[in-house]
Structure 1
Amino acid sequence: MENFTNETIDITQLPKFEEVVFTPLHTKYLTVVIINLMILIAIFILIPTLFSFFKPELFSGKLWLILGAVLPVLFIWIATFSILGFKRKGFAFREHDVLYRSGVIATNTIVIPYNRVQHVALHEGLISRYLGLAKVEIFTAGGSSSDLEIPGIEKEQAENIKQLLMGKIQKQL
């Protein structure tokens, strides 16, 4: 029988993920972000316009004035946070885990040890595929959706990442 030990760990000696050099998302992904933003803005403009065409009594001059003042401010706010968010995102692969950082106001860093990874998927959206980009989705135990999504990676690099992670999964079996 083994002797059970439960020694205290010196937390000052733990590796610090803050010191990791993160790889930024591919610059082409900013195009994806901007196109998605433009689609969102078009929807925000199209819906009131259609409503005003079919139900003109719902839209008075005051409502158009409010929409004309609020929507541009909302669009600028969303665009600013989308672009700043793009610049703050990054990922890193270390010997034992994968890290993903995001966030504008608060920075979120997700760390997933390879021994928790159960499945890896590659996803290409319509715009991303056209630009040669993909998203790596990493699944761990117990969830029906991915635990980590890393968008904006060149497709060839994303396939290499998927193979790396699949190799880590195979070593565990």
Structure 2
Amino acid sequence: MENFTNETIDVSALPKFEEVQFTSLHPNYWKVILLYWLIFFLILGIAAAAILYFVEDLGGFQLGVGCTFIIFLGLSVFFSRISFRKKAFAFRNHDVLFRYGVIATNTVVIPYNRVQHVALHEGLLSRYFGLAKIEIFTAGGSSSDIEIPGIEKSQAENIKQLLMGKIQKQL
């Protein structure tokens, strides 16, 4: 019978993912985000204007709605910018890392041997700017575990081929 051991691991000797050189999203992805917000607020503004047009004599209500609209727009763009700047990715020999967040920074690390499927998507606006999104799926879920948007399409295709190669090696 084999002797069972359960030694303590020196956590200070473990590799630190914080020291990894992350790659930021393509700068054109910020334009995509802004265009999506513009479309959203344009539709919302038209709807609000139509409602306020047909309602008569609300006193200062229209001014309040307008100020709220502008504040909401400003906060949305502000927090989207923070989120955009924090998003980054890295590929190492054995795993893929994705960093994101607004107030707190989260880092997801997925070993290649857990990757089951990889998908590449191009949205309408992203395609216009030559960008794509990589989705990485692991076993046990119907949705992707990592979505890395704002990658130049040729780089996204190379990443997909890299990951598909890692999947094939496991089989």
TM-score class, shorter-chain normalisation, is over 0.9
- Mapped to 2, the partners of 1:89 and 1:62 lie a distance apart of 41
What's 1:65 paired with?
63
Q: CA deviation at 1:19?
A: 0.8
The CA deviation string for residues 43-72 of structure 1, in whole angstroms up to 9 with x for no partner, is 22122123234x425x72332121112111
The residue type equivalent to 2:43 in the other structure is I
- Mapped to 2, the partners of 1:163 and 1:2 lie a distance apart of 42
Q: Secondary structure at the match of 1:61?
A: coil
Aligned residues: 171
What's 2:47 paired with?
47
Q: CA deviation at 1:102?
A: 1.1
What's 1:7 paired with?
7
Do residues 18 (structure 1) and 24 (structure 2) align? no
What's 1:94 paired with?
92
Q: CA deviation at 1:41?
A: 1.3
Q: Which runs of 5+ in 1 are unaligned?
A: none
Q: Secondary structure at the match of 2:141?
A: coil
The residue type equivalent to 1:37 in the other structure is W
What's 1:145 paired with?
143
- Mapped to 2, the partners of 1:4 and 1:165 lie a distance apart of 36
Q: CA deviation at 1:158?
A: 0.2
What's 1:56 paired with?
55
- Mapped to 2, the partners of 1:110 and 1:8 lie a distance apart of 25
The residue type equivalent to 2:14 in the other structure is L
Q: Which runs of 5+ in 2 are unaligned?
A: none
- Mapped to 2, the partners of 1:111 and 1:64 lie a distance apart of 48
- Mapped to 1, the partners of 2:50 and 2:167 lie a distance apart of 51
The residue type equivalent to 2:37 in the other structure is L
Q: CA deviation at 1:76?
A: 0.7
The CA deviation string for residues 107-156 of structure 1, in whole angstroms up to 9 with x for no partner, is 01111111111000000000001111000000011111111000000001
- Mapped to 2, the partners of 1:151 and 1:29 lie a distance apart of 8
Do residues 167 (structure 1) and 152 (structure 2) align? no
With the length of structure 2 as denominator, give the TM-score of the two structures: 0.94
* Identity across matched positions, percent: 63
**What is the root-mean-square deviation in Å for CA atoms of aligned residues?**
1.5
- Mapped to 2, the partners of 1:2 and 1:27 lie a distance apart of 56
